[in-house]
Chains A and B, each alone.
Chain A
Amino acid sequence: MAHEENGHDHDHDHSHAEIGQTERPGYYDNLETVVRELLVSKGYFGPDEIRRQIEVLDSRTPALGAMVVARAWADDAFRKRLLDDGRAACEELGITFYDQTGLIVLENTDKVHNLIVCTLCSCYPRPVLGLPPDWYKLKPYRARAVSEPRKVLAEFGTIIPDDVEIRVSDSTAMVRFLVLPKRPEGTEDFDEVQLAAIVTRDTMIGVVEASKDIRRGE
């Protein structure tokens, strides 16, 4: 949001989010402005809080989750702490949780493949991955991930052998999940930075497996 306000003083009541906009906002865009400005004028929160929270949201990308996964791959003691208490281990790496959600990290192994979903809506480990992609929030994924995960995975090009169990974890308002993908073969010589580079968002949702040849785009 390069055109959000920069914290300078102003005495007019336009939100700077509107500046730079070249056409009339739609009804729901205006409705957001209406609700926000009414609540600010009634003192429920400060005029700067939305902008600050947008900055927090913008600071969260899958690079954070990738850093966590890479550390777990490289450091077995950290991996154990991460599986024991996901939130505390992430906080160890300086990742703050801006909400009250817990985090459970699910480890993929040769016997188990994990997949995360939110059937009711869109709960997602936002502090470590940012906002979820649209497909995660739409009906086909939410409806089918829990009843036919192998078929769903196949639609992402991921074929899980029949002797590997698939576990699907359904997120809630308070408990979020993150998949710890399997470290791919051929990465024995990689350092943590190189490891983090191959951890994509989708590997941490569990719809694809990590590969040493696929790098995360930001």
Chain B
Amino acid sequence: MTQTEQLLKRLPNDIGGTSADPISVVDHELEPWERRCHALADVLDFHKIINTEEKRRGVEALGTELVGKLSYYERWIACFANILFQKGILTPEELALKMKEVESRWDDFDKESTQAARS
């Protein structure tokens, strides 16, 4: 199979039965935001906003390159944003504005900690 044929026939998640490296028995304690992201996924499912199948398809729709480069929960939150755009629940503009606001909270935090360090 040529490389593009492989990409066409197998979506990024469809890896069952393919060859891969030896198992490395790795694990990590979830970061607080990863735990929130998991809970968010569950709550989105409970409210029938995004279900598990939509999430899997949403991750696949990120494309092979992003799926390969993002971590597990980075893929989830990226696909949630995209699906919410597609459903008309959020707009990219709202998200960009809110992102500015959320990032700016840390400007104050940085100032406070600089002042605290000086006093």
Contact = CB atoms under 8 A, between A and B. Distances in A.
Partners in one complex: yes
Interface of A: 1, 3-4, 14-15, 17-18, 21, 24-25, 28-39, 42, 44-45, 49-51, 53-54, 56-57, 98-99, 117, 119-123, 131, 133-135, 137-144, 146-147, 152, 155-156, 170, 173-174
Contacts of A17: 32-33, 36
Chain B interface bracket (under 10, 10 to 19, 20 to 34, 35 or more): 35 or more
Contacts of B64: none
B40 interface: yes
Interface string B1-45: 000000000000111111111111111101111011111101101
Nearest to A122: B72
A44 B106 CA distance: 26
B89 interface: yes
A138 B28 CA distance: 13
Contacts of A25: 33, 106
Contacts of B38: 57, 131
B47 A45 contact: yes
Interface of B: 13-28, 30-33, 35-40, 42-43, 45-47, 49, 51-53, 56, 59, 70-74, 77-78, 80-81, 84, 89-90, 94-95, 98-99, 102-103, 105-106, 109-110
B35 A140 contact: no
B27 A135 contact: yes
Q: Report the 5 A-B pairs with minimum CB-CB distance, sorted nearest first.
A: A119-B16, A53-B39, A173-B52, A143-B20, A29-B33
Contact of B39 (A21, A54, A174): A54
Q: Which of A14, A35, A45 has the most CB of B within 10 A?
A: A35
Contacts of A45: 43, 46-47
Contacts of B20: 139-140, 142-144
B76 to A, nearest CB: 9
Contact of A35 (B27, B56, B81): B81
B36 to A, nearest CB: 6
A135 to B, nearest CB: 5
Contacts of A32: 33, 36-37, 40, 77
Contacts of A134: 26-28, 72
A32 B98 CA distance: 11
A57 B39 contact: yes
B49 to A, nearest CB: 6
A140 B20 CA distance: 5
A160 to B, nearest CB: 15
B35 A139 contact: no
Given A119-B15, A140-B23, A39 B33 contact: no
Contacts of B95: 34-35, 38
9 contacts: A30-B99, A32-B33, A35-B84, A39-B84, A45-B43, A53-B43, A134-B72, A143-B16, A147-B18
